[in-house]
Amino acid sequence: MKVARLHAPGDIRLYDEAEPEAGPEDELIRVTAVGLCGSDRHWFIEGGIGDAVLSRPLVLGHEIAGVIETGPQRGQRVSIDPAIPCGICDLCTTDLAHLCRDLRFAGHGTTDGGLRTLMAWPRRLLALLPETIDDIEAALLEPLGVALHAADLGKVEPGMSAGVFGCGPIGLLLIQILRQLGVNRILGTDPLPGRLAAARALGASEIRPPVAGRNGSDVAAGPPWPQLDVAFEVAGEDGALHDAIAAMRPGGRVVLVGIPASDLTSFPASIARRKGLTLLLSRRMRASDLPRAIELAATGHVDLRSLISTRHSLDEVRAAFANLSRYEGLKVVVEPSR
């Protein structure tokens, strides 16, 4: 089979390797589509993410769709839940399995991800796809699940006002979810004009560029912020969090979804304290979020297709990561079996 492995920052190489063997609890999957995520960008540029660093050549990619190759479900199209919790700890026996201390995650640490033509994955973590979702769209179901989890943390209710600070793919999915939840006033911010235009097209009632610089310094003059009920920081930059805090009403909630490059986040404590804000950190998605994402997409309540900007074969994986690194377009998708 063909595999792409990251050896060091910026150094991704293609190999021919032996096909994986599926265990008794696994299925062999032919990978049809893999979305590249902001976290893949961290791995590619920095050789790690947060406190996890590259320790061996790693197959990236956790936004995965494929086709079952063996057994009674052969030919079934599936979306893959990339998280493998231990299943027995105190967190796994509640609704916190996504926080399992021994969780393994596709394309992270020492667990290979989807940038290969074949992979073996636990049967229990495969979700069947309806015909109304094609393989390319299915590569966005995992980020849609992440957006759903973030919205839940924000305790969004009809009639609220909300802000999305960072309008990459997850931010744009959040805007669509907020519309579905009855939020009428949605502010979207991003430094890239193309992303602001996408935010407007997908439901933001107001768009504007950021005010604070990327690291929260060099604050420029700008129009007054609205006083929002809830905000989602989806850029992984201090500047986006500073803007979110400035835009909040007293007593509001700020959900941090973005992942900072330095593994450190700072914010103006005096303003946040004066407003009595609640800050929450969102980690990935829960197992229950993938079926919800499939239902939303299958019924046409979210638009996945318009977020896909470029498609590459596995042979073109270096070009795919070049697009991702330069923030060209929105969602970059690799099709390993093409």
pLDDT tens-digit readout, 86-115 = 989 999 988 899 999 999 999 998 999 999
Q: 138 CB contacts (<8 Å, ≥6 apart)?
A: 33, 65, 77, 79, 129
Poorest-pLDDT segment among 91-100, 149-158, 216-225, 286-295 = 216-225
Residues of the chain with CATH 3.40.50.720: 144-281
**277/213: higher pLDDT:** 277
Per the rule left: phi > 0, alpha: psi between -120 and 50, beta: everything else, 107 is left
Phi, psi of 25 (to 5 degrees): -100, 5
pLDDT at 218: 52
Rg for the chain, CA atoms, rounded? 20
Architecture per CATH, domain 144-281, reads as: 3-Layer(aba) Sandwich (3.40)
> Does 222 score more than 90 pLDDT?
no
Cα dihedral 194, 195, 198, 202 in deg (nearest 10): -170
pTM here is 0.93
CA-to-CA distance for 1 and 89, rounded, in angstroms?
35
CA-to-CA distance for 209 and 238, rounded, in angstroms?
15
Tokens of 74: 């052969």
Please tell me what DSSP assigns to residue 58.
B
* Fold for the domain defined by 2-140+304-335: Quinone Oxidoreductase; Chain A, domain 1 (3.90.180)
Poorest-pLDDT segment among 95-109, 241-255, 259-273 = 259-273
CA-to-CA distance for 187 and 229, rounded, in angstroms?
11
- Mean pLDDT over 132-144 rounds to 96
Q: What separation in angstroms does the CA of 79 have from each of 11, 27, 133, 294, 304?
A: 28, 13, 10, 9, 14
pLDDT digits (tens, 9 = 90+) for 140-161: 999 999 999 999 999 999 999 9
